[in-house]
Amino acid sequence: MFKLLKILLPLLALSLWGGLVRAQTVEAEGAARIETSVALAKRMALQDAIRQALMQANAKISTTTVTTRKGVVADNMRFSAQGRVTHVTILREWTDEDHYYVKIRAQVPGDELMQALLKAEQDGDGRAGPARWHDNGNAEAAKRYRRKVAVSQFHVLDRTQIHDLPKIETELARELERRLISDGRVLTVNASQYLLPLTEEGVISQRRILGALPPAREPHQVASEFAESLGVQFVVTGVIRDMSMSNHFLGRKMRHLELDLFIHDGISGASVARHRVSETVEENTLGELYPHEAALMSEKFFASPFGQKVDQMLDRMVALIVSDVTSQPFTARVIRTEGNRVYFDAGGLANIRVGDVLNTYKLSEAPVKDFPGQRALGYAEQPATSLIVTQVQRLFSVGELAEDTARLAPGDVIRFEP
């Protein structure tokens, strides 16, 4: 109850401040010259209308426009925390001989209310709210979107080596996911109850995941179907290669730690990265290596020599995962369509904002295979059109396609490309 009051009272106080704090309903018009296509002019006019609405609310805007030698313009627009629109409704569209016009109604929250809402989100569920960044160019904009990662159970090559570490394969996954949450740069899903069918080399070898889903049609589709079922862009798993104990020639006991970390792309199922991390713990007695009465991943466990090494390895794995996934293009899946309105599975928590412009692609139904036809290489992508975001919820967003004739289907791809 006290925690709830801590969240609600600042919001109630702010709501009494008046117009500066309350969300403003703004109507604005935008225009764009019709040059290469009507669809492009419509998109530019809608962006202009959003700019005008934000200017009325004294917001700050950062945009990047890229023109290729073919004359195709790619706009990526971001809004800072001082100016966001939470909902856009198109009231009217019209054209004359040279221009496309759009009139919109937009909701623009006041600065203090937006900051209070973000703080309430963080305090209310224990997770960091949408990351806030400064605009430093298009390459940086690609990193602002928070990718979503599922962390699954680790494989164990020799279970006799972990007899004193019950459920270490699931506890490692849970602790890794917890630290990724604390880091805040990616979104996570706890998939520690699931075991992907990996070989020692990280290759998916079977069609079934232990604990989840019917069998996939082919082994290469396991990761992509698993990722789609969880709504994530990447799947992280690993292999405990060695946790054996041995005697040092000086009489000291040693414990070895060697883990492989694998990251798979959730769209193609392909491997994104593989890392090996290892440590060795050396002590006079086994009791000093690891206190058996301590729960795994507890404070007492991490205070032991063995736990300190595990702690270091976990921090290294977090850094590797964040580096690998943020270097990949931000991708989301289409989950629903209504004409040229498209719903996709990334929202405010992923740092999507109203006015963002993303690219859309239709995926082929069957994967592309290598020459012998044995190994899947991924899915062919057919560029469709651009999409401008008009509504953002916490877990999903809605956008409008720039071309009225373009059509997407659930499973197709939304992507930000710097």
Position with higher pLDDT, 129 vs 375: 375
Q: Are 247 and 332 within one domain? A: no
Where does a domain end: 265, 291, 326? 326
CA dist 112 and 115 (Å) reads 5
Rounded to an integer, the average pLDDT of 65-94 is 63
Q: What's the CATH code of the domain at 389?
A: 2.40.10.410
> What is residue 107's predicted lDDT score, i.e. its pLDDT?
80
pLDDT at 84: 67
Q: Is residue 398 situated within a structural domain?
A: yes
Determine the structural domain holding residue 382 and report its residue range.
23-109+130-144+328-416
Average pLDDT, the chain: 78
Mean pLDDT to the nearest integer, 16-42: 74
Are 343 and 214 members of one domain? no
* Mean pLDDT computed over 303-317: 92
Asked if 185 and 270 touch (Cβ cutoff 8 Å), the reply is no
Nearest C-alpha neighbor of 105 from the set 377, 353, 391 = 391
- The pLDDT tens digits for 323-359 are 999 999 999 999 999 988 999 999 999 999 888 889 9
Tell me which of 396 and 305 has the higher pLDDT: 396
265: pLDDT strictly greater than 80: yes
Of 307, 326, 345, the position where a domain reaches its end is: 326
Q: Do 274 and 354 fall within a single domain?
A: no
Q: Does residue 54 sit in the same domain as residue 152?
A: no
Is residue 114 in some structural domain? no
CA 179 to centroid of chain Cα atoms: 15
Q: Is the pLDDT of residue 195 over 90?
A: no
Query: 188 and 301 share a domain?
Result: yes
Reply yes or no on whether the pLDDT at 159 is more than 60: yes
Shared domain check, 286 and 170: yes
Domain final residue, candidates 326, 360, 377? 326
Q: What was the pLDDT predicted at 180?
A: 97
- Note whether residue 289 is domain-resident: yes
Same domain, 340 and 400: yes
Structure tokens that stand for 194 in this block:
């699931």
Reported as a pLDDT band with limits 50, 70 and 90, residue 67 is: low
pLDDT of residue 286: 47
Same domain, 370 and 296: no
- Using the predicted structure, report yes or no on whether residue 118 has a pLDDT greater than 70: no
pLDDT band at 3 (very low <50, low <70, confident <90, very high): very low
pLDDT band with cut points at 50, 70 and 90 for residue 117: very low
Q: Which residue has the higher pLDDT, 405 or 414?
A: 414
The Cα 45–Cα 52 span in angstroms is: 10
pLDDT grade for 257, boundaries at 50, 70 and 90: very high
Is the pLDDT at 125 greater than 50? The verdict is: no
| Percent of the chain topping pLDDT 70 | 70
Q: The domain that contains 292 carries what CATH number?
A: 3.40.50.10610
Measured distance CA(18)–CA(401) in Å, rounded: 36
Residue 210: predicted pLDDT:
52
Whether residue 97 is contained in a domain is answered as yes
In-domain check, residue 117: no
Residues 6 or more apart in contact with residue 64 via CB below 8 angstroms = 75, 76, 77, 137, 138, 141
Q: Does 10 fall in a domain?
A: no
- Average pLDDT, stretch 93-99? 88
Q: Which of the 8 DSSP states describes residue 304? A: S
389 in a structural domain? yes
The pLDDT value recorded for residue 234 is 95
Residues 199 and 165 in one domain: yes
When comparing pLDDT for 123 and 300, which is higher?
300
Q: How far is it, in rounded angstroms, from Cα 32 to Cα 42?
A: 7
Choose the weakest-confidence range: 85-89, 179-183, 338-342. 85-89
* pLDDT for 365: 81
Q: What is the pLDDT of residue 250?
A: 67
Has residue 225 got a pLDDT over 60?
Answer: yes
Rounded to whole angstroms, the Cα distance separating 378 from 228 reads 15
Same domain flag for 67 and 186: no
Mean pLDDT of 106-114: 65
Examine the domain organization and report whether 29 and 135 are in the same domain: yes
For residues 7 and 120, what is the distance between their CA atoms, to the nearest angstrom? 6
On whether both 283 and 171 belong to a single domain, the answer is: yes
Domain count, the chain: 2
Overall average pLDDT of the 234-249 stretch:
88
Residue 16 has what pLDDT? 38
pLDDT tier for residue 208 given thresholds of 50, 70 and 90: low
